[in-house]
Amino acid sequence: MKKSIVVVALAFVSLVASELKAQQHITDKIKVFFNHPVDTTRSTGVKATYITNSLSDTMSAYIDRAKYTVDIAQYDYTARNSGGVGKFATAINNAYARGVKVRWICDGSAPNSGLNLLNSNIPTLGSPTGGNYNIMHNKFIVIDVNAPDSNDAIVWTGSADWSDYMNTGDYNNDLSIQSKQLAIIYTQEFDIMWGDSTHGSQPNATKSKFGPYKTKVANHLVSVGGSVIEVYFSPTDSVNKQILSHIATANTDIYSAMYAFSEDVDATAIVNTVKNGAFAAAVMDQYSLQYGAFSILSNYLAANITIYTGNDIYHDKYLIVDPSNPCSDPLVLTGSHNWTATANSTNDENTIIIHNDTIANMYYQSFAEDFFVISGNILDTVHLACALGVESVSADNISLNTYPNPYTDKTVISYTLLQDEKVTVSAFDIMGQKVCTLAGGEMQAAGNHQLEFSGVSAGVYVLKIQAGNNSLVKKLVKVK
């Protein structure tokens, strides 16, 4: 009995060390920035980053490292001099002067006074105005997408428009993601609006497409640091369907932080998670009081919904699902997309969904502090410790989770394919003998899949999953 206890204890220590290493790995690839204080006492291992100066300073630092290309799709850039957010124009001009190719898309109806600070040779393109089109509301930068070193490729996105009050006063979140595959997807979307699939320096107005006239990008899934990231663009990808489907995955707790929230179906979906036993809380800007979604939520959330009524704007736009339950599928959904009909059907918007418990917890640190500052109340939620561990590995086209592991009865094998593949899943004992085949080489569609492994005696097993030309091997431990 003592030997068994030692083996299980060592396995648990190993899993804890593995989890800490995984947290560090993901934060090497994905960096999250908040421009208001965060509650780091809620951290499960990695403290969220509160930028004390401004988001634009951090953006400028990334531009200063650009070597080859910078593509910008930004709704509005308001600046009149080189101070404050105007420093970003200085960083762009310096990049252009050292030979970096710069392309800039803005909303044609927004002031964009900061464009006057740019070198006049830098090409810019304003979105169309009038007709069935509303606004180009994107907020993203793609840096060095085709650099020889794939580690140079960066995507920056989030909720902030570029102005001094947006960077230091209004509530916003931004993030940078190191991923060539993700940069390629964002560049494809940029090129559709730019009107040149060859990444030309000058826009092609005759082929440029915005809003409902755009074509879809082909890929929406990538693996970054062992975690799946989904990316969608409005209006071509029916993004509100994605929002609804991810709200529905909440098992334990769910949090929404939103400037404009007018989609009643989204509010109803959150209420349904409460009816199913989840804890829910929300922060809204006072702008959303005019919509029925607030009434729908307030009837069920009671004291767990709060409205920001300050002089600035609560401009965040994010959803956190199950940050307190690492045995579920913790995720963050964020980007430029407010939860409105126009964001879904007419605007150009980008939405990114990160499936990772560390990133979800970092956003929760920000949400909890915002909620306290705005409402005066402290969130009191149940936080689950996945005592038997969650492990995640990934290859180029597949990401794999097993939970719990070690396990006592059964373990759930959850994997995400980045493209359609023929999949084989087999389990072997410690001697290399096949125990069972869970998937026999059939073609499976891109997306999320789940299997269960059970019915074996206590011991160590090896799970092998083959998807196309890629394979992953993972150790499973069943304890008595």
Q: What is the pLDDT of residue 8?
A: 32
Contact yes or no for 312/334 (Cβ under 8 A): no
CA distance 384 to 390: 12
Going by C-alpha positions, the residue among 174, 175, 192, 198 that lies closest to residue 69 is 198
pLDDT at position 395 is 61
Residues of the chain with pLDDT under 70: 1-25, 327, 381-397, 406, 430-432, 459-460, 477, 479-480
CATH class in words for 391-478: mainly beta
Domains 50-222 and 391-478 in one fold: no
Q: Please, what CATH class does the domain formed by 50-222 belong to?
A: alpha beta
Residues 6+ apart with CB under 8 A from 284: 258, 259, 261, 294, 305, 306, 307, 308, 314
Provide the 10 A C-beta neighbour count for residue 132.
10
The dihedral built from the CA positions of residue 397, 350, 364 and 34, taken in this order, carries a sign that is: positive
Give percent of the chain with pLDDT exceeding 70: 89
pLDDT at 104: 98
Rounded to whole angstroms, the Cα distance separating 134 from 33 reads 29
Total number of residues shown for the chain: 480
d(CA 449, CA 401): 10
Calpha distance 177→145 (Å, rounded): 12
Alpha-carbon dihedral of residues 373, 374, 377, 383, nearest 10 degrees? -80
3-class secondary structure for the chain?
CHHHHHHHHHHHHHHHHHHHHHHHHHHHHEEEEECCCCCHHHCCCCCCEECCCCHHHHHHHHHHCCCCEEEEEECCECCCCCCHHHHHHHHHHHHHHCCCEEEEEECCCCCCHHHHHCCCCCCEEECCCCCCCCCECCEEEEECCCCCCHHHCEEEEECCCECHHHHHCCECEEEEEECHHHHHHHHHHHHHHHCCCCCCCCCCCCCCCCHHHCCCCCCCEEEECCEEEEEEEECCCCHHHHHHHHHCCCCCEEEEEECCECCHHHHHHHHHHHHCCCEEEEEEEHHHHHCHHHHHHHHHHHHHEEEECCCCCECCEEEEECCCCCCCCCEEEEECCCECHHHHHCCEEEEEEEECHHHHHHHHHHHHHHHHHHHCCCCCCCCCCCCCCCEEEECCCEEEEEECCCECCEEEEEEEECCCEEEEEEEEECCCCEEEEEEEEEEECCEEEEEEEECCCCEEEEEEEEECCEEEEEEEEECC
Cis peptide before 323 (omega within 30 of 0): no
Domain 228-375: give its CATH architecture: 2-Layer Sandwich (3.30)
Answer whether the bond into residue 330 is a cis peptide, omega within 30°: no
Task: Say what the pLDDT of residue 9 is.
Answer: 36
Among candidates 54, 212, 49, 35, which has minimal Cα distance to 133? 212
Burial class for 464, CB neighbours closer than 10 Å (0-12, 13-18, 19+): middle
Nearest to 171 by CA among 266, 296, 306: 306
CA dihedral sign, ordered 217, 219, 225, 228: positive
φ, ψ (nearest 5 deg) of residue 342: -70, -35
Residue-range domain boundaries for the chain: 50-222, 228-375, 391-478
What is the strand order of the sheet 434-444 is part of?
434-444, 421-429, 459-467, 470-478
What is this structure's pTM?
A: 0.81
How much is the pLDDT for 246? 93
Query: Can you give the pLDDT at residue 49?
Result: 93
Number of CB atoms found within 10 A of residue 131's CB: 9
- Predicted local distance difference test score (pLDDT) of residue 389: 46
CB-based contact 284:258 (threshold 8 Å): yes
Spatial separation of the C-alpha atoms in residues 174 and 317, rounded to whole Å: 10
* Residue-level pLDDT at 22: 57
- Residues 389, 406 contacting (CB under 8 angstroms): yes
Q: Are 360 and 332 contacting, i.e. CB atoms less than 8 angstroms apart? A: yes
- CA dist., res. 409 & res. 403, Å (int): 11
